[in-house]
Amino acid sequence: MPDPRFSVLSEDFAAAPHRYFARLREQSPVHYEPAVDSWFVSRYPDVRRVLTDHEAFTTETLQVRAEPVMRGPVLAQMTGAEHTAKRKIVVRGFTGQALQDQTHVIRANAAEVLAPLLSQGRMDLVNDFGKPFAVRVTLDVLGLDKEDWRQVSAWLAGVGEFITSIALTPERRRHCMDCALGLEAYLVPVIEQRRRHPGEDLISLLSTTEFDSVAMSTREVTALIINVLVAAVEPADKTLGLLFKHLIDHPEQLAQVQRDPALLSAAIAETLRYTPPVQLIPRLAEQEAVFDGGVVPAGATVFCMIGAANRDPEAFTAPDAFDIHRQDLGTARSFTAAAQHLAFGTGLHQCVGAAFARAEIETVAALLLPLLDRVRHRPGSEYRESGLYTRGPVALPLDFTPAPDAVAAHS
Ligand code: 2IO
Instruction: State pLDDT tens for residues 267-311.
Output: 999 999 999 999 999 999 999 999 999 999 999 999 999 999 999
Q: How many Cβ atoms are within 10 Å of 59's Cβ, its own excluded?
A: 23
**Is the confidence at residue 3, as pLDDT, over 80?**
no
The 8-class DSSP code of residue 128 comes to: I
Q: What is the pTM of this model?
A: 0.96
Residue 210: which pLDDT band, with cuts at 50, 70 and 90?
Answer: confident
Cα 268 to Cα 327: distance, rounded to the nearest angstrom: 15
Cα 391 to Cα 388: distance, rounded to the nearest angstrom: 6
CATH fold of 11-372+382-410, please? Answer: Cytochrome p450 (1.10.630)
CA-based torsion, 252, 274, 122, 230: positive or negative: positive
Instruction: Tell whether ligand 1 has an atom less than 6 A from the beta carbon of residue 235.
Output: yes
Return the residue whose CA atom lies nearest to atom 4 of ligand 1.
231
Q: Is residue 121 classed as helix, strand or coil in its secondary structure?
A: coil
Q: Is residue 281 classed as helix, strand or coil in its secondary structure?
A: strand
**Is the confidence at residue 68, as pLDDT, over 90?**
yes
**CA 232 / ligand 1 centre spacing (Å):** 9
Instruction: Tell whether ligand 1 has an atom less than 6 A from the beta carbon of residue 225.
Output: no
What percent of the chain clears pLDDT 70, i.e. is strictly above it? 97
Cα 2 to Cα 22: distance, rounded to the nearest angstrom: 12
Interstrand relation of 385-386 and 280-285 (parallel, antiparallel or unpaired): unpaired
Strand partners of residue 377: 398
- Residues 320, 310 contacting (CB under 8 angstroms): no
Residue 213: which pLDDT band, with cuts at 50, 70 and 90?
Answer: confident
For range 175-198, the mean pLDDT? 97
Return the residue whose CA atom lies nearest to atom 9 of ligand 1.
231
**CA 400 / ligand 1 centre spacing (Å):** 34
- Residues 357, 239 contacting (CB under 8 angstroms): yes
Cα 109 to Cα 367: distance, rounded to the nearest angstrom: 11
**CA 160 / ligand 1 centre spacing (Å):** 9
Q: Is residue 68 classed as helix, strand or coil in its secondary structure?
A: helix
Atom of ligand 1 nearest to the CA of 164: 2
Cα 308 to Cα 8: distance, rounded to the nearest angstrom: 12
- Residues 285, 279 contacting (CB under 8 angstroms): no
Instruction: Tell whether ligand 1 has an atom less than 6 A from the beta carbon of residue 281.
Output: yes
Please give the mean pLDDT across all residues of the chain: 95
Using only C-alpha atoms, the chain has a radius of gyration, in whole angstroms, of 21
Instruction: Tell whether ligand 1 has an atom less than 6 A from the beta carbon of residue 230.
Output: yes
Q: Classify residue 347 as left (phi > 0), alpha (psi -120 to 50) or beta.
A: left
What are the distances in angstroms from CA 276 to CA 133, 247, 341, 373, 407?
A: 20, 15, 9, 27, 33
The reported pLDDT for the residue numbered 410 is: 53
**Is the confidence at residue 139, as pLDDT, over 60?**
yes
Q: Which helix (H) or strand (E) holds 373?
A: strand 372-377
The 8-class DSSP code of residue 215 comes to: E
Interstrand relation of 214-215 and 210-211 (parallel, antiparallel or unpaired): antiparallel
From the centroid of its chain, how far is CA 370?
26
Domain ranges of the chain: 11-372+382-410
111-124 burial by CB neighbour count: b if 16+ within 10 A, else e?
eebbeebbeeeebb
Return the residue whose CA atom lies nearest to atom 12 of ligand 1.
231
- Residues 327, 333 contacting (CB under 8 angstroms): no
Residue 408: which pLDDT band, with cuts at 50, 70 and 90?
Answer: low
